[in-house]
Amino acid sequence: MSLREAKRVFFDELCFGFPDVPEFPLVDIQDNWSNNQPGYSFLSDPRNAVYFEGCDSWLLERIT
């Protein structure tokens, strides 16, 4: 049972089973920790638009 759950986590939550998983330059992504508006995240930070262009909905779906 534990092995089955580990495989599920690897494939479903860590994206190992998905084709065409986008790669993001994690060291370049910016976040505004002082912005506490509801719905704000690093995905909506305009400085990151170039990194998430075309991938933001994919990433948001995986996060939620």
- Mean per-residue pLDDT pooled into runs of 10, the chain (64 residues): 76 66 84 90 89 77 70
Q: Is residue 10 part of a domain?
A: no
- For residue 62, being part of any structural domain is answered with yes
- The Cα 7–Cα 51 span in angstroms is 29
> Looking at residue 58, what is its pLDDT?
76
Q: Looking at residue 55, what is its pLDDT?
A: 79
Query: What is the tally of structural domains in the chain?
Result: 1
pTM of the entire predicted model = 0.56
| 29 in Cβ contact with 48 (< 8 Å) | yes
In a domain, 13, yes or no: no
CB under 8 Å, gap of 24 or more: what pairs does 23-30 form?
A: 24/51, 24/52, 24/55, 24/59, 25/51
pLDDT value for 57: 75
Contact 55, 22 (CB under 8 A): yes
Domain with 44 in it = 22-64
